[in-house]
Structure formats: C-alpha cells, structure tokens
Amino acid sequence: MGALLDIQGLVKAFDDLRAVDGVSLRVEPGERVAIVGPNGAGKTTTLLMILGAIEADEGTVHIAGHPLPAQRHHAMRSIGFSAGYLPLPDRLKVTEALRFFADLSEVDDPGDAVDTVIQELDIDHLRDKLCMHLSSGQRTLVGIAKATLHRPRLLVLDEPTASLDPDIAFRVRDRLAQINDQHHTALLLTSHDMREVETLTERVVFLRAGQIIADGSPAAIAAAGGHDSLEELFLAEASRHRAVQL
C-alpha cells in the first residue's frame, strides 16, 4: 500500500532563492511527523506545496494516491489544514462556521460532523459564541475542529500552538494526540517549539536552506548532530543560519 503523503524531489525557487531544494518525504497513515528548521528553511513553502496552494517547479506530490495539481479535488478530501493565521468567519457563530466548512468539505451529514468534533475537542461551551469573540486559544481549537470535520487521513498544522499560553498549548497538543490515536489520523506539523515536537511527534524532518539535513526520531537526530536535545540542535542550526546570513 502506498504512503498517505508521498512527495518526491520538490523544488521551488522565488527569483534567485531556492526556497525548497529537492525535498522528498513519505508520511504513512497514523504517523506523527514534524518539519522543523530555522526561519527561511522552507517549511511553510513545503506545506503550501503539499496543500496545492503553491505549485512546485520540479517534483511530485501525491496525497492518498492522488497527484497534485491534477486531482486536487480528491486529494483535499483526505487532508485537513489548520494554522493560527487562518481566519474564521467573524460574524458567524462557531456552529454556523463549522457547518459552512463542513459543506465546503463535502461532508455527508454536516450537522452530525459538527456535533462530533465539538464533543471531541471539548468546545461545547463555544457553540453559540461569535467567532469574532473567541480568544486565540479558542480560535486554535475551533480551527482544528474545522480541519477535522471531514475526518481527514492527514492533518497538516502550521505552528499549531504559536502564541498560545502554555496551558492552552498543552490542551491543543493533547487534543491532537487524541485525534491521532482515535482516528489514526497522520499529523504533519511545523513548529519552533522543540519540546512540543518531542512530545507530539515520533519523527522529525530537519530542513536547512530548503534541504533535508536530518530525518529520524527526535532523540536520534539530536544525537546524530552531537547534541543532547532537539532544542540544542535547533539553536545550533539557527545560530549557524544567522552567521551565514550576516
């Protein structure tokens, strides 16, 4: 059986800058994978190519066997995307907003799907709240609910806990682990929080200047780089990156 996500030789250049330079990656069903690297390493560009929002100059992307961009419509049924910078419709209540996105995601029974994700994410108290009145932590949870309405096989998260209080971030991580555990939903996330990466994922793909420089368990790639923890490796890479830029 093929990988849930299979990207091969992805290249994306903007003018003279090769933002992504030959990235290949396979994610299996139920796997928890983090893409990490310093700012400008190519994480978000890689995610946006996986989502079909940016077209690769070279290379291929298959989601659940569907090639992008030719079968984007089918591919998007298998994928959910959440990021702190994605808006929610301010003037709709949470249930109305979720219902709207359930319709867009072609869910068979939108009402039931909305009730289910609200229960799973424990956000019943937000049902009738206008999206414009949600706190950033609440918006993150509703954003994840939105991304999981159609029971995607792969959940893509761009910095899911950025700018959240530690207790809210803990709750978000807990819910993501629960979704992964209960539904065998694969997680693919980017994060600058290395402790979060160590807690939530079992595999780390480390990017530098658009290329994969390490791929393995958090402990293994930290050790391979001669560091005690992923955070130390990240700091060393970030400082190297700054030195190159200066």
Partner 1 sequence: MWFLLLALPVVDVVLFSSIGVAYGDGDGSVRILFTGILLFHLVWQLTLAGSLGFLEEVWSRNLLNLLTTPVREIEYAVALGVVGLARTVVAVALISIVGGGLYAIDPTSAGWVLAPAAAVLLLFGWAVALLVVGLTLQYGDSAEVFSWGTLVLLMPLSGVFYPVEALPGGLQAIARVIPLTRAFDATRAGIEGGGVAEGDLVIAAIGSLVAVALAFGFVLRQMRRFRQLGWVTRVT
State the residues that interact with partner 1 by CB under 8 A.
Answer: 12, 14, 44-45, 48, 51-55, 57, 69, 72-74, 76-77, 79, 81, 83, 85-87, 89-90, 101, 104-106
Shortest separation between residue 83's beta carbon and partner 1, angstroms: 8
Q: Which segments within the chain are labelled E, that is strand?
A: 5-14, 17-27, 32-36, 58-63, 66-67, 79-83, 154-158, 186-190, 203-208, 211-216
Q: Among residues 106, 93, 105, 175, which one has the least CA distance to residue 134? A: 93
- Nearest-angstrom CA–CA distance, 82 and 88: 11
Q: Smallest gap, in angstroms, from Cβ of residue 10 to partner 1?
A: 13
Between 87 and 226, CB nearer to partner 1: 87
Provide the 3-class DSSP secondary structure of residue 245: helix
CB 78 → partner 1: shortest distance, Å?
Answer: 10
Nearest CB to partner 1, comparing residues 4 and 222: 4
Q: How far is the CB of 230 from partner 1 (least distance, A)?
A: 27
Please identify, using beta-carbon distances, which residue of 52 and 65 lies nearer to partner 1.
52
The residue among 58 and 124 lying less far from partner 1, judged by its C-beta, is 58
